[in-house]
Structure 1
Amino acid sequence: MQNYFETAETMDLAQDMLGHTFTYKSDQGDFSGLIVETEAYLGPIDMASHSYNGRHSEANDPLYQSGGTIYIYSIHSWLDMDISIQKAGIPNGILIRALQPLTGIEAMEINRNRTGFETTNGPAKWMAAFGIKDKSLSGTILNENNFSFSAKKVQTPQTILATPRIGVKNKEPWTSKNMRFIVKGNPYVSKLPKRDMNLETYGWL
């Protein structure tokens, strides 16, 4: 089977990933959710990328591996997760920013000490909800180890909105580029105002 994460441009894959499920087999059981928000990072040319200018360290090495490699990193005291995109040696990544929970919801709410949309509406929030506390699984391969990604979309977005990425400051022109993709109206999208939430269909067809 052709590697999904090496089949198209990174920006296109960041949009196509919306509506696929992401699953984690953990000691607490299975956690899964629909991907509702992503951000694309274009490697050495992208000032917001961890591999900007060819930066390569032991920590960000998963970005340099074949498409579909898990890259877990810390931002302040939180953990985020990227998926490496493109063939080995091309360090592009896609950040999974938010998930709509499917399985393991009760355990997620306990892990986060939150309920409802706040449980998984952000990149560090869903990681905490899934009980991921360290970087030990960074460098593992999707669909071979603890993490899996559905081969097909489980839901289809009614509308995909493209916006600037969140938290990319003082890095023009990259700050203003529309490289964040969301399922319009999905209440699990990070920082979404209540007035923009579609509570009937959650933004799916």
Structure 2
Amino acid sequence: MGDKIEETNKFFESNSTIDTAKEMLGHVLTYNSDQGKLSGVIVETEAYLGPDDQAAHSFGGRHTDANDALYQQGGTIYIYSIHSWLDMDISIQKKGLPNGVLIRGVQPIDGTEIMEENRKKTGFDATNGPAKWIRAFGIYDKALSGTMLNAGDFEFDLKKSRTPKNILETPRIGVPNKGDWTDKKMRFIVEGNPYVSKMYKKDMNLDDYGWL
């Protein structure tokens, strides 16, 4: 377990936050829940660059009990509430540097029927958004916040499962009125993947979902 944690730290601490956000596309998340094994491959992420980033929860060095997970070692889970829904970031960089990557969308692999039942939705709409996939995985509280990936029931495969044909870079979603940070291209998606949030049908690649 110790080696796995060290490898996890290295993955999330060794590169720039933007490069890590891109690299996370194609990696598999697995939650060994009370309902069973639930997993999916990451198709959409957003980078948040800490104290300088007006859209980040740690902007200006803000540090509270609620966002403390962002300040912990790379690979720490940070769960927070947005309009009564939950989102999940992963802390990036070494302890004390509160950067994060929001996981915005996943393409289901294991437990699809359970996910659809949890969401009361079927198809792409079950997991094509940051709060949607959290609900689909049966996560209803912040109990996992502050825990490490690969140290318990929530796992991140350190080896890429699938490779995107192309990664599109866009401004982040839902961060208006943040000065220059509103328009910075720090959202990364697998081009054409139908599990990406806000994806128009005309832009969906239903042949291979945007993977090589």
Q: Does residue 70 in structure 1 map to residue 101 in structure 2?
A: no
Superposition map of 1:12-91 within 5 A? 12-91=19-98
Q: Does residue 190 in structure 1 map to residue 197 in structure 2?
A: yes
Deviations 1:165-185 (A, max 9, x none): 000000010000000000000
1:11 matched residue in structure 2: 18
Return the TM-score normalized by structure 1: 0.99
Q: Please, which runs of 5 or more residues in structure 2 have no aligned partner?
A: 1-5
Deviations 1:132-169 (A, max 9, x none): 00001100000001211111110000000000000000
- Choose from 144, 153, 156 the match for 2:151: 144
- Choose from 100, 108, 111 the match for 2:107: 100
Return the TM-score normalized by structure 2: 0.96
4+ runs of 1 displaced by more than 2 Å?
A: none
Equivalences, count: 205
The residue type paired with residue 197 of structure 1 is M
Deviations 1:94-152 (A, max 9, x none): 00000000001000000000000000000000000000000011000000012111111
Q: Please, which runs of 5 or more residues in structure 1 have no aligned partner?
A: none
The residue type paired with residue 205 of structure 2 is N
SS at match of 1:173: helix
Q: In proportion to residue count, which structure has more helix?
A: 2
Deviations 1:51-109 (A, max 9, x none): 00000000100000000000000001100000000000000000000000000100000
The residue type paired with residue 19 of structure 1 is G
* RMSD between superposed Cα atoms in Å: 0.6
The residue type paired with residue 118 of structure 1 is D
Q: Percent of counterpart pairs with the same letter? A: 67
SS at match of 1:174: helix
Q: Does residue 109 in structure 1 map to residue 94 in structure 2?
A: no
